[in-house]
Chain A
Amino acid sequence: MNERELDLQLIQRIQNGEQQAFSLLVRKYQTRVANILTRYVRSSGDIPDVTQEVFIKVYKSLPNFRGDSAFYTWLFRITVNTAKNYLTSQSRRPPASDIDADEADSYDGSGALKDGDNPEAILHSQDVKRVILGVISNLPNELKSAITLRELEGMSYEEIAQIEGCPIGTVRSRIFRAREAIDKQLKPLLEN
């Protein structure tokens, strides 16, 4: 099962009236959508509102989604269009250098300074990042290697198993144990 198939499975459920399945797509993609929006939306305070608008548009358009392209590619287009409409409504021009859907995964739009950045939010984000990377650096090597190959290299369990020379079930267990260790530290930080 690849990512596209999981997304399609969720979309199929939504199209069959299982509205709650949409919440999983929101949970899965909201950080990526917000990250794309930072390229267009200068005021960081507006990013949650525009992110919400993107997902509402996606939901409304889902009956027309035929699955010809990956869901994320389709979501990316809607995100960029919504951002451009937002700029128009703010009487601002879209950035001169646009980004393509192909670049969406690798795009780093965080370099620009944004209006209304909340120092507390920045501090909190830095804390979250520090905790996650701190836990990873202290993980046993086999767990660190498994989660890194999965999350940064995007490898499948089978590919990781070949590299690590272990069964797929072991890879699955290692990645889960790594996530569990990080989550133990991350959960209280997000709840606070």
Chain B
Amino acid sequence: MKEYSQELSALIDNELDDEVVINELLDDADLQEQFSRYQLIGDIMRDEGKGLDLRIDVTDSVMAAVANETQDKVSSTIPLTAVENNVVPFMKRFGQYAIAASVAAVVVVSSLMVNQTTDPDNNVTPVLSTVPFGGAAPVSLQTSPAQTKSDIKERNEHLEALLKDHQLQLQTQP
């Protein structure tokens, strides 16, 4: 400490620009106390300590409060991580619902297509025809004429089983 005392005195007087001395001062508690006393000497000479309790030093309490402040700032960022962690289960569940909805949509479209081919009034021209003139139907609406009633029934049962299985999986998962 002694070796830096003269530098400390010059630093207080703003006559020294030395990073090494400042670093030493920040690391040495005794040197910091000396810094405070040197400051106090000037304050008393200028009569700035009049009426004050000179035993009171708020440095430690301020630094403790500042440390808490910093800690609060750090801890306030923690929920962000927690939120990110919650995103995964939410997305997982959302994905499951999406799959279920897709399967349901496939079932509905398939049954519509089946009904269209088995409808006895199939030859009646609808009020608004989506079938182009000349009899060519859109590819997506074409069904294989070779399908039998048993094939259709089998496929519907299979799809129904798939749907039930998927719903069962959703219920058993958290």
Contacts and interface: CB of A to CB of B under 8 A. Distances in A.
Interface of A: 1-3, 5-6, 9-10, 13, 18-24, 26-28, 30-32, 34-35, 38, 44, 47-48, 51-52, 55-56, 59-60, 108, 110, 114, 117-118, 121-122, 124-125, 128-129, 132-133, 136, 147-148, 150-152, 156-157, 172-173, 175-176, 179-180, 182-183, 186-187, 190
Closest 5 CB pairs of A and B: A121-B53, A110-B50, A1-B17, A176-B9, A110-B51
A44 B53 contact: yes
B41 A182 contact: yes
B53 A175 contact: no
A3 B41 contact: no
Contacts of A35: 43, 48-50, 52
B122 interface: no
11 contacts: A5-B17, A24-B35, A30-B59, A31-B52, A47-B56, A48-B53, A108-B47, A121-B54, A124-B54, A152-B45, A176-B10
B76 interface: no
A18 B39 contact: no
A52 B62 CA distance: 6
Which secondary structure characterizes the binding site on chain B? helix
B10 A172 contact: yes
Nearest to B7: A176
A190 B65 contact: no
B111 interface: no
Contacts of A151: 41-42, 45-46
Given A22-B66, A27-B39, A31-B54, 16 more contacts: A2-B14, A6-B11, A9-B22, A24-B26, A27-B32, A27-B36, A31-B43, A52-B61, A108-B50, A121-B54, A125-B49, A132-B41, A148-B45, A156-B15, A172-B10, A190-B55
Given A38-B51, A56-B62, A183 B37 contact: yes
A13 B167 CA distance: 61
Given A19-B70, A172-B6, A124 B53 contact: yes
A23 B63 contact: yes
A22 B26 contact: no
B56 A48 contact: yes
